[in-house]
Structure 1
Amino acid sequence: MDGRVVLLWVLTLFFWGSSPLLEKVALKAVSPLLALAVRTGVAALILVLVALLTGEVREVQELSLRNVLVLGASGLLAGVLGMFTYFSLLKTGAASKIVPLTAAYPLVTAFMALVFLKEDLSWERLLGILLTVTGLIILQKS
């Protein structure tokens, strides 16, 4: 991996790794729905401002209806429904246990990619899936 990719990876790990701590603190005082609304509202405002400032908002006219619907469905599934159920879980349990368990979503992605996108299943990928499942079982028993 080149330096830029490593930097992006490390930043992603930091951002995604620290965010649940903030969310857990906030969820002590508010409901999961309100927390999600505030979090998403702030993020949306920042994204709109960045899109305006960078000029990327001009590319909206190039989006097909299909792309808008697919991205909208993704936002609904992950950004609203998934985050609501995640916040609800996070409010009820230890962040150090909830976050890794919910981070097992790549298993669903791998399965669905095999079925719907007809991606290949290599021995290495199968081993990774089995190791992930094993890790989840161990974590669940801890």
Structure 2
Amino acid sequence: MNIYLFAFLAMVFWGLAPVFGKIGLTKVSPLIGLYVRTFVVAAILLVYGVLSGQIKNLTYVGRTDILYLAGEAVFASLLGHLAYFFALKSGAASRVVPFIAAYPLVTFLVGVSFLGEKLTLMKGAGAGLVVLGLLFLMR
């Protein structure tokens, strides 16, 4: 499988999703929007998991893995998406989405600071360009 095909598909899907989100949030609160979004995804995953038999593999997931995945779920799927919906409801999608898409900057900083990942000139320059882009978006 081609990783670039999947990366391209993710880009397209994540690029289209805010259009639906912006329209869907016009008459509902961000919290209700998150309820609907989460319910739809959970229902689809449950049906697929049951029909494909993949759901039985949940028994093989270790406790440590569950804790880390739960942490990722709280930060990304709950807190991150709730903050995103609040921003999207009030702001222009063309400003909100590129700003939020700078989240790898946070991962970069945490990786270098706490995971012992190496800081190189190119990585630092890339992070600097992201910060510069954020400053442009804020104007």
* TM value normalised by structure 1: 0.93
Deviation (angstroms), 1:53: 2.3
Paired letter, 1:87: F
Correspondent of 1:122 among 120, 123, 130: 120
Identity %: 39
Alpha-carbon RMSD across the aligned residues, in angstroms, is 1.1
Correspondent of 2:98 among 97, 100, 106: 100
Question: Cα deviation per residue 1:3-23 (whole Å; 9 max; x = unaligned)?
Answer: 722211111111000000000
Deviation (angstroms), 1:54: 2.4
Q: Distance in 2 between matches of 1:131 and 1:54?
A: 44
Correspondent of 1:4 among 2, 5, 29: 2
Question: Cα deviation per residue 1:34-81 (whole Å; 9 max; x = unaligned)?
Answer: 000001110011111222222221221111111111111111111011
Instruction: Write out the 4+ residue segments of structure 1 that deviate beyond 4 Å after TM superposition.
Output: none
Structure 2, gaps ≥5 residues long: none
* TM value normalised by structure 2: 0.95
Q: Distance in 2 between matches of 1:130 and 1:4?
A: 30
